[in-house]
Amino acid sequence: MIIENLICLYSNTVLDAMRIMNRNSKGICFIVSKDNTLIGTITDGDIRRSILDGVDLISRVDTIVSKNYIYAKVLDSLDVLYKMTSHKIRVIPIVDEDHKVVDYFEYTQSMHFPIATPSLNGNEFKYLSDAFFSTWISSQGEYLNKFEEGFSQYSDCKYGVAVSNGTVALHLALIALGIGQGDEVIIPDLTFAATINAVLHANATPIIVDIEEDSWCIDPIEIEESITNKTKAIIPVHIYGQVCDMKKIMTIAKRYNLKVIEDCAEAHGAMFNDKKVGSFGDIGCFSFYGNKIITTGEGGMCTTNNTELDRKMRVLRDHGMSKDKRYWHDVVGYNYRMTNLQAAIGLAQVERIEIIHENRRKYENSYKDILNSNAFIFQKDIENRQRITWLVSILIYEKTDREDYLSKLQERGIDARPFFYPLSDMDIYKQYCKKDTLVTSAISKSGINLPAYESLNNMKKIQYILNKHFNNA
């Protein structure tokens, strides 16, 4: 709601004020002079009472304006604003030092702060409209090429193969690398189920191992101890924006002649030794789901520096159809294609990705200013690993009941989430874990993800809620 939809000139009629209230649906308008100085407020109740008292609709509003109105000043704290509100007063004008209306505050008990919200403030609509009117709305069009080129270059890779989601990106990578029946693939216990599901869909055998205590990423020591003569690949997961120890992982992969598929679904733009994730292994796999750093709604991409793998993935993605002979199929392929419409949104998102990163990190820093460091441990910044802020990931100390804490946050509109469950805890996956994963278990039980997205408009409200109810957790 823009402030102009609440403004009514003192010389307007009562009927004009009613029309303004009808547009803003707030039941109130702010009465101002020609220079925007606040004179008073009028509510729908004021108008009803004035009509019952004989005032007609063409009377000027300044004849019925409330003289005892509530207003706030631009420097008033959120706590002060909340104290001004009541069950009767929910919308308050905010004035500057000259008493001119500059903003408003609205209190609602149903405030909701989702875990993630995509920001589409750049060229998304422009490019989407262009793709729409071009009639190339399916899996061909100029935005697909532009998005693949733009994102792969951003990720320090020569090639990018856009696909329909992050899960099929992992599956496509495994198939392109020849991973299948009888092969073992080492994965971390702390990850979203897509990682292990992709391995199972490729008919390979996942081997679940523990994570590092500091990074929450797959532990290279555990990787090496789990290698057998059947091991063919490693999938390091850059969890919650943090970066795996790619130097150690690539050394192990080279020593044992293993393929490396990086799961970068939550870490677009994160770096190890100033090199982007997705560019270390044979193939990097990204997700562009709605809650990711950049989004295409649904979507994903495989990045690589290998020309042959790029060619192979493109054939497999497009039904296995030959690039030289239309409708001729040399291999059994898949329909894993992204649409031109999705790519149009993705290209606009890539153009703004550094701004998105900057705003998300500001969000994280704001949480650090709010939350008691004696009750919470924030995700660590580790030497040589340049993590990014996806969600704000924290650990809560044992003295606090995490489930109770999460429940109270959600009651007050903050959509906080627990960390992923260990894969090894689930009946369908536990057979693939041969050793105890004590670090994963401890981290999973104490982890919380707090909302973080590009728009910072609601941070003051979150600060107020956390300070008032939760800072002594």
d(C-alpha 184, C-alpha 199), whole Å = 9
Q: Which helix (H) or strand (E) holds 30?
A: strand 28-32
d(C-alpha 468, C-alpha 178), whole Å = 55
d(C-alpha 16, C-alpha 6), whole Å = 12
Give the ranges where 371-458 is alpha helix by DSSP (H).
402-411, 438-446
Beta strand residue intervals within 45-149, DSSP E: 72-73, 91-95, 101-106
R_g of the chain, CA atoms, integer Å: 27
Longest dimension (CA), the chain: 93
Among this protein's residues, is 292 annotated catalytic?
Answer: yes
Query: Do the beta carbons of residue 240 and residue 449 sit within 8 Å?
Result: yes
Q: Which of 232, 259, 276, 292 is catalytic?
A: 292
User: Distance between alpha carbon 181 and the CA centroid of its chain, in Å?
Assistant: 35
d(C-alpha 266, C-alpha 104), whole Å = 36
- In order of 150, 183, 249, 289, 353, the CA distances from 167 in angstroms are 21, 19, 22, 10, 22
d(C-alpha 10, C-alpha 74), whole Å = 22
Is residue 276 packed enough to be buried (19+ CB in 10 Å), middle (13-18) or exposed (0-12)?
buried
d(C-alpha 193, C-alpha 430), whole Å = 12
Q: How many residues does the chain have?
A: 473
Encoding tokens for residue 178? 């020849």
Beta strand residue intervals within 267-336, DSSP E: 271-272, 275-276, 283-287, 300-304
d(C-alpha 133, C-alpha 142), whole Å = 13
Encoding tokens for residue 53? 């008292």
Q: Which residues are catalytic?
A: 292
